[in-house]
Amino acid sequence: MTVNELKDFLKSEHPVGTFLFCGEEAYLRRAYLDTLRATLLTDPAFDTFNHMIHEGAEVDFSTLTGELETPPLFAPYKLIEWHMADFNSLTDKKLEALAELARIQSREDNAALVFLCSPEGFDPGTPKRPSALYKKLSEFLTVVNFEKCTDARLCNWLKRHFDQAQVEAEPAVLRAMIDRCGHSMDILANETEKLVAYAKANGKNAVAPEDVTLVCAPTTEADAFGLTNALLDGNADEAYRNLQDLRSRRVDPALILGQISRLYGDLLSVALLLHDGMNPAAIAAALSMNAYKVGLYAKCAAKRPVQSLRRALARCAEADIASKTSYASDRFAMLDCLVAELLNAQGATD
């Protein structure tokens, strides 16, 4: 389902279903979730009983089943949310459990179940080349990929914000904001508020490009897979910059560790199959993996002894155990140490 199709669906008489909200634009994920909340939760006296919110990388399927099978209290609908799920680690058994949840929702038909995944928790691919997991999930979930907006759409969106605040902003100002602050709608919304406050504090009814330079903070945009790409390249500066960005966005360390573990698991799989004489095209088919990604992994794996990759994956497993048993520890500090060890091990084999 596209974002525009979701917008129309939420205006329908029966806006329920089992949804997966994913993609890089967190602002839009939250905005459409807020619209769904406002649509389904219409009686403050009973909203507390009809609105369940959960969070965590591991989905508790038994809890969600019980909530779906329990009718809403004195209201036509209930809303169940699960935030920060790690769908990239779904096993076949968990995929079937998800499909069963969708069947229960369809049978009961009085609740909306929404899973919200960050880019670290689910890779949807692109509209032209959706990921294999996206295709599987789309068979029983309504998947909505909130991609980064184009410059033209962002300019129109920014213009509406300035118009609402009754402050003029010419196209050059809007373009300057995107160039300086990036494409994150969260960041742009904050910088718009700063510019509006600055203009009004100085008795101005318009902002100029030089105001953008003076008021707005420059932002370096981070790729959703920037950390793993930096680890592939052995680029320590980029790895730590991306790790800091993930920390600032409060991404669950469990999702970051899962992303790193998958990287080394895939690298090891590719290395073993290369050792067995398979070419990248055959490996891509055997692992149901994107051919371009296999090509990148094959180049990296060719430079690393298999035993080195085994040790890296084992170190990821140790970090996972430590993160789940050392509750008083700083899990981002653990990630810092893990990244340092992985980069040092790679440097030792180059």
Q: Is residue 283 part of a domain?
A: yes
Q: Is residue 220 part of a domain?
A: no
Partnered with residue 53 across adjacent β-strands are 81
Q: Is residue 164 part of a domain?
A: yes
Partnered with residue 125 across adjacent β-strands are 130
Question: Do 248 and 132 share a structural domain?
Answer: no
How many domains in the chain? 3
* CATH number of 194's domain: 1.10.8
In 3-state terms, what secondary structure has residue 54? Answer: strand
pLDDT one digit per residue (tens) for the chain, 350 residues = 888 899 999 888 888 999 999 988 888 999 999 999 999 998 888 888 999 999 888 899 999 999 999 999 999 999 999 998 888 888 889 999 999 999 999 998 899 999 999 887 888 877 778 888 889 999 999 999 998 888 999 999 999 999 999 999 999 999 999 988 888 888 899 999 999 999 999 998 999 999 999 888 887 666 667 888 888 888 888 888 888 877 876 777 877 888 888 888 988 999 899 888 888 888 888 887 777 788 888 888 888 888 989 999 998 888 888 877 766 567 788 888 888 988 887 755 55
pTM (global) more than 0.85: no
Q: Is residue 108 part of a domain?
A: yes
* CATH number of 237's domain: 1.20.272.10
Q: Which amino acid is at 45?
A: A
Boundary-marking domain end, from 130, 145, 160: 145
Question: Do 103 and 172 share a structural domain?
Answer: no
Question: Do 128 and 58 share a structural domain?
Answer: yes
Question: Do 184 and 54 share a structural domain?
Answer: no
Question: Do 236 and 168 share a structural domain?
Answer: no
Question: Do 173 and 296 share a structural domain?
Answer: no
Question: Do 245 and 289 share a structural domain?
Answer: yes
Question: Do 139 and 160 share a structural domain?
Answer: no
In 3-state terms, what secondary structure has residue 112? Answer: strand
Boundary-marking domain end, from 92, 121, 145: 145
Question: Do 262 and 181 share a structural domain?
Answer: no
Q: Are strands 78-83 and 206-207 parallel, antiparallel or unpaired?
A: unpaired
Q: Among 243, 316, 271, 327, which Cα is nearest to 89's?
A: 316
* CATH number of 125's domain: 3.40.50.300
Question: Do 15 and 69 share a structural domain?
Answer: yes
Question: Do 272 and 164 share a structural domain?
Answer: no
Domain coverage including residue 288 = 226-349
Q: How far apart are CA 90 and CA 121, in angstroms?
A: 10
Boundary-marking domain end, from 186, 215, 244: 215
Q: Is residue 120 part of a domain?
A: yes
Question: Do 33 and 90 share a structural domain?
Answer: yes
Q: Buried (b) or exposed (e) across 121-147, using 16+ Cβ within 10 A?
A: bbbbeeeeebbebbebbeebbbbbbbe
Q: Is residue 221 part of a domain?
A: no
Q: How far apart are CA 234 and CA 349, in angstroms?
A: 11
